């Protein structure tokens, strides 16, 4: 039985938020565009209602998000997180774009005694029900920003998405665009595209967001991509591809750990490759793997990389998932290759 299902409607969650004088908005560690966009949009909507809303971000932060946050007050928990900076007694806690303890490690000691006030908004296939009693989960959403857009519409009592303020439409568009790979991935749906159009009508600036997110790389980052591609090995007769990046690679390029993301889709550019794994060393005995697969092609089903990730102790979506392994890089690589080869049988 799947326990990761909704327990609340968006109307019920909107009612709970409308009556809250203050709220803390959490999301997964190392926020991506959807994590940032959903929490920022919600914070701005709640602020308009007169509430005191604080988005809280932990793990690595991408400086390219700074112009998108602008003057909106957010709390960033840095390298040595100080949980006493979090409000002691918020009326409600919203957790967006995850519901897994494994992605909430930094804030867990603060959240755990307060879970009764927590609400999860998510679109992933799995999570921990203990994180929040009230949950709205729509695994059909391309981005959690899709449900958050509907929630913002209810909170601000506007009839249509294109009537949302531009300052709320913009972060929602960011989440939708980045979680769909700028409208290229198989999660693109008519609903997602209609929402995107409405958000553009509301004033989201596509060109600005694309430039900020996709055209702001450092030269080090492109050198690192070169190294990553040079490391690529084909497995399972060319149906799988594995990229490995060591801390040494990162150093040699003058790059930082923040530069290692976003490589996982690249091997899918190869015709024969159906699924890929990108393994990044993040510590002496710690590695991260990002898994991706292509959509179904005729009779050939998509490789369910969520299952591969689950076998490695992680999870995610059917075509984009990940895990962390407490192993040296070479052992992590061997385990990932075994798991991916099994899925490609
Ligand atoms: Mn997401």
Per-residue pLDDT reduced to its tens digit, 78-135: 878 899 999 999 999 999 999 999 999 999 999 999 999 999 999 999 999 999 999 9
What residues does the ion ligand 1 have nearby, CB within 5 Å? 34, 97, 144, 179
Give the list of residues 6+ apart from residue 254 with CB closer than 8 angstroms, or none: 220, 223
Q: How far apart are CA 251 and CA 246, in angstroms?
A: 9
Measure 38 CA to ligand 1 centroid, in angstroms: 9
**260 band by pLDDT with thresholds 50, 70 and 90:** confident
305, 185 contact by CB (below 8 A): no
Mean pLDDT, the chain, rounded, equals 95
What is the rounded CA–CA span in Å between residue 234 and residue 229? 11
Specify which of 58-67, 168-177, 251-260, 262-271 reaches the highest per-range mean pLDDT. Answer: 168-177
Q: How confident is the model at residue 257 (pLDDT cuts 50, 70, 90)?
A: confident
Q: 316 pairs with which residues across the strands?
A: 321
Burial code (b: 16+ CB inside 10 Å, e: under 16) for 34-70 equals bbbbbbbbbbbbbbeeebbbbbbbbbebbebbeebbe
Measured distance CA(4)–CA(136) in Å, rounded: 10
Query: Would you kindly state where each structural domain of the chain is located, as residue ranges?
Result: 10-213, 219-343
**How many angstroms separate the alpha carbon of residue 307 from the centre of ligand 1?**
18
pLDDT in tens, 136-170: 999 999 999 999 999 999 999 999 999 999 999 99
Contact of 232 with 198, CB cutoff 8 Å: no
Q: Ligand 1: distance of its center to the CA of 28 in Å?
A: 10
Kindly state the average pLDDT of the residues 295-313.
Answer: 95
- Tell me, what's the pLDDT at 39? 98
Residue 258 has pLDDT above 80, yes or no: no
Distance CA 261, CA 284 (A): 19
Ligand 1 centroid distance, CA of 4 (Å): 15
Cα(123) to centroid(ligand 1), Å:
7
Strand order in the sheet with 75-77: 75-77, 52-58, 22-27, 92-96, 118-122, 134-137
Ligand 1 centroid to residue 184 C-alpha, Å: 15
**pLDDT at site 259:** 79
> Distance, CA 237 to ligand 1 centroid (Å)?
32
Contact 290, 325 (CB under 8 A): no
Task: Give the domain 219-343 fold.
Answer: Diaminopimelate Epimerase; Chain A, domain 1 (3.10.310)
Burial letters 138-171, b for 16+ CB under 10 A, else e: eeebbbbbbbbbbbbbbbbeeeebeebbebbbbb
The structure tokens listed for 235 are: 């497995």
Q: How far is the CA of 144 from the centre of ligand 1 (A)?
A: 5
What is the 136 CA–ligand 1 centroid distance (Å)? 14
> Is the CATH number 3.10.20.740 carried by domain 10-213?
no
pLDDT reported for residue 271: 96
How much distance in Å is there from the Cα of 248 to the middle of ligand 1? 30
CA-CA-CA-CA torsion sign (245, 251, 252, 255): positive
Q: Which pLDDT band, with edges at 50, 70 and 90, does 1 fall under? A: low
Counting residues of the chain whose pLDDT is more than 70, the rounded percentage is 100
Instruction: Say how many Å lie between the CA of residue 97 and the centre of ligand 1.
Output: 5
Give the span between the Cα atoms of 111 and 139, in whole angstroms: 24
C-alpha of residue 172 to centroid of ligand 1, in Å = 11
pLDDT tens digits, 201-229:
999 999 999 999 999 988 999 999 999 99
Distance CA(276)–CA(37), nearest Å, equals 27
Instruction: Say how many Å lie between the CA of residue 181 and the centre of ligand 1.
Output: 11
User: Tokens in use for 142?
Assistant: 């391309």
The two tokens of residue 221 are 């980052």
Work out the percent of the chain whose per-residue pLDDT is above 90. 92
**pLDDT, mean of residues 178-205:** 96
The tens digit of pLDDT for each residue in 49-78 reads: 999 999 999 998 989 999 999 999 999 998
**Distance in Å, CA 143 to ligand 1 centroid:** 5
């Amino acid at each position: 039985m799947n326990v990761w299902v909704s327990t609340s409607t968006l109307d019920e969650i909107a009612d709970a938020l409308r009556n809250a004088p203050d709220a803390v908005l959490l999301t997964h560690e190392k926020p991506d565009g959807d994590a940032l966009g959903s929490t920022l949009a919600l914070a701005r909507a709640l602020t308009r209602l007169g509430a005191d809303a604080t988005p809280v971000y932990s793990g690595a932060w991408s400086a390219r998000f700074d112009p998108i946050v602008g003057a909106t007050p957010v709390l960033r928990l840095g390298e040595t997180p100080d949980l006493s900076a979090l409000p002691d007694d918020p009326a409600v806690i919203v957790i967006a774009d995850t519901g897994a303890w494994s992605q909430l490690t930094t804030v867990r000691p603060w959240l755990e005694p307060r879970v009764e006030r927590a609400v999860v908004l998510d679109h992933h296939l799995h999570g921990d029900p203990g994180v929040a009693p009230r949950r709205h989960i729509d695994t059909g959403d391309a981005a959690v920003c899709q449900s958050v857009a509907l929630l913002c519409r209810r909170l601000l009592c506007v009839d249509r998405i294109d009537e949302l303020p531009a300052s709320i439409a913009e972060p929602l568009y960011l989440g939708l665009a980045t979680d769909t790979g700028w409208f290229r991935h198989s999660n693109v749906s008519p609903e997602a595209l209609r929402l995107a159009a409405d958000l553009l009508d509301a004033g989201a600036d596509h060109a600005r967001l694309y430039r900020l997110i996709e055209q702001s790389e450092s030269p080090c980052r492109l050198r690192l991509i070169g190294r990553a591609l040079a490391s690529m090995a084909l497995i399972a007769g060319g149906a799988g591809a594995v990229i490995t990046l060591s801390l040494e690679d990162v150093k040699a390029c003058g790059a930082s750990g923040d530069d290692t993301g976003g490589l996982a889709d690249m091997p899918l550019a190869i015709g024969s490759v159906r699924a890929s794994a990108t393994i990044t060393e993040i510590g002496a005995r710690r590695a991260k793997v990002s898994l991706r697969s292509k959509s179904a092609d005729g009779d050939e089903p998509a490789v369910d990389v969520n299952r591969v990730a689950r076998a490695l102790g992680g999870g995610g979506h059917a075509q984009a998932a990940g895990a962390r392994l407490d192993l040296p890089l070479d052992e992590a690589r061997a385990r990932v290759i075994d798991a991916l080869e099994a899925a490609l049988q």
